[in-house]
Structure 1
Amino acid sequence: MIKAIALDDEILALKIIENYAGKIENLSLEKVFNIQSDAQKYLNKFPVDLIFLDIEMPSKNGLDFYKNISQNTKVIFTTAYSEYAVDAFNINAVDYLLKPFSFERFKSAVEKVKINTENDEVKHLSIRADYKLHKINFNDILLIEGLDDYIQIHLKDNSKITARSSMKNIMEKLSEKDFVRVHRSYIVPVNNIKTIVNRNIHIGDFIIPIGETYKEEVMRIVNK
């Protein structure tokens, strides 16, 4: 199921999106917003897979709004202006719908999201950091560390990507068979658990404690 929201300053445009979304299987339009601050508050609390987003709005431009979304959310722009198309695709928009758009055109855009989501779930983690969308191969991840409101993804080439996200949200985007949370501050790839000494996992130069809450699940995976 694709969880989505829509943001547009025009109420009629939101009603059209609501109508179209209601006809598509496996698409749940959770909320619609005509005020950017309300949409931002929602996104700060709830993960969504997709946002239908207008570009020219009274306060912040939709392109800038999307660049500042901290969670990994795909976007389909819905606008009456064609001149923003290049900028939209430069920030990895799934599609760009010019108003007025038909149901078939809307449905086609959502199908692209479904295909991309399936592919990402199998092989990649997509996350927004430093105003870019990073697509990270699961095999390149050494471990993921939680730092208050941020997470730090440690890669096998010794580089790091820091993004605003909770550990819960990032765990929802990972494959359960490939990753396990071992501590409130650590998520590790299952294949990287080679050595456990005194309830500590050794991965490269890292010594990661196994939290009491996660001990049973970790041992179940290790003893498979």
Structure 2
Amino acid sequence: MINCIVIDDEPLAVRLLESHISKIAELNLVATATNALEAYRILQTQEVDLLFLDIHMPDLNGIEFLRSLNKRPPTIFTTAYREFAIDGFELEAVDYLLKPITFERFFKSADRILRQVQKENEDGFMIFKSDGFNRKLLLKDILYFESMGNDIKVVLRDEIMLIPKISVAELAARLQDNGFLRIHRSFIVNRNLVTAVSHHEALIGKISIPVGRSFREAFDNFARLFSAKRLF
């Protein structure tokens, strides 16, 4: 999950970005700010992975605000003014979106961030205890997890193993920032390995995994993103 904030003094622009962000399951809007001082306070108290930053704001504009940060999160500028594009890219902005921002343009920009995060996670791993051994599992090799009473079945590309004495909820919390999605009370899937989706199920190759009613909203957000990637 990528935690992001919107910094913009225009309420309509904020609402539009809130709507766009809500359609992408991997983006989590943690706060909004109408000026640089509010944004400073948020950054001091929240873990923020991505800024959607307007340029024309009172007191301190977006360019000045970003320059003032010692640690700069990846930033996507959102503005109605083309003339600041060079300044934005000199600050190594991820992208520069001109208002009004369509969802198609927003998605292309967000997808750039998601691909970067996915690449960083490709070599990620977790350590699980199984059969008396602490085992290192590469996350990219895990297809899905399934609850088996008090144990968890881990289905990998080339084997199946059991993790004892761990709940699905606990496992989902450990995996939420690593490309996995809980879609049923008994199942957690590797989002990067899902090959097809419908309203009621996700496919990983020929394996069908049901979608639980309580997890429908999160899955529908993922399904929209999944489908959008195949339209562009």
The TM-score with structure 2 as length reference comes to: 0.50
Tell me the CA shift for residue 37 of structure 1. Answer: 1.0
Secondary structure in 2 aligned to 1:9?
coil
Which residue number corresponds to residue 82 of structure 1?
82
Q: CA deviation at 1:121?
A: 5.5
Match for residue 31 of structure 1? 31
How far apart are 1:118 and its partner, in Å? 3.4
Aligned equivalent of 1:3:
3
Q: Structure 1 residues 68 and 47 mapped into 2: Cα distance closer, same or farther (>3 Å)?
A: farther
Q: Percent identity?
A: 40
Please show how residues 195-214 of structure 1 align to structure 2 within 5 Å.
none
**Pair 1:4–1:34, CA change in 2 (3 A):** same
Structure 2: any 5+ residue segments left out of the alignment?
A: 124-232
Higher relative contact order (CA 8 A, sep 6+): 2
> CA 1:118–1:6 in 2, change beyond 3 Å: closer, same or farther?
same
- Residues in 2 aligned to 1:72 and 1:56: alpha-carbon distance in whole angstroms: 19
Residue 45 of structure 1: CA displacement? 1.9
Q: How far off its partner does 1:65 sit?
A: 0.5
Give the conservation status (yes or no) of the 8 Å contact 1:49–1:72: no
Q: Any unmatched runs of 5+ in structure 1?
A: 124-224
Instruction: Tell me the CA shift for residue 109 of structure 1.
Output: 0.6
- Alignment match, 2:203: none
Q: Please state how far the C-alpha of 1:10 moved relative to its aligned partner.
A: 0.5
> What's the C-alpha RMSD, in Å, of the aligned pairs?
1.8
Alignment of 1:83-122 (within 5 A): 83-120=83-120
The one-character-per-residue Cα deviations of 1:108-149 (angstroms, maximum 9, x if unpaired) are: 1111111223345669xxxxxxxxxxxxxxxxxxxxxxxxxx
Q: 1:60 corresponds to which residue?
A: 60
1:77 and 1:119 map into 2 onto residues whose CA distance is 23
Q: C-alpha offsets along residues 44-63 of structure 1, whole Å, 9 cap, x if unaligned?
A: 12221100000011111201
User: What's the CA shift for 1:64?
Assistant: 1.3
Cα separation, 1, equivalents of 2:31 and 2:91:
23
Residue 99 and residue 74 in structure 1: after superposition, are their counterparts in 2 closer, same or farther (change >3 A)? same
Cα distance, 1:2 vs structure 2: 0.7
The alpha-carbon deviation at position 4 of structure 1 amounts to: 0.1
Instruction: Give the counterpart letter for 1:10 in structure 2.
Output: E
Report the CA distance between 1:35 and its aligned residue.
Answer: 2.6
The Cα offsets for residues 86-121 of structure 1, whole Å up to 9 and x where unpaired, read as: 111111111100001101101111111112233456
One-letter amino acid of the structure 1 residue matched with residue 66 of structure 2 = Y
Residues in 1 aligned to 2:40 and 2:30: alpha-carbon distance in whole angstroms: 14
> How many aligned residue pairs are there?
124
Cα-to-partner distance string for 1:64-90 (whole Å, 9 max, x where unaligned)? 111222334100000000001111111
**TM-score, length basis structure 1:** 0.52
Runs of 4+ in structure 1 deviating by more than 3 angstroms, as ranges, are 118-123
* Inter-partner Cα distance in structure 1 for 2:68 and 2:121: 23
User: Contact 2:56 / 2:79 at 8 angstroms: preserved in 1?
Assistant: yes
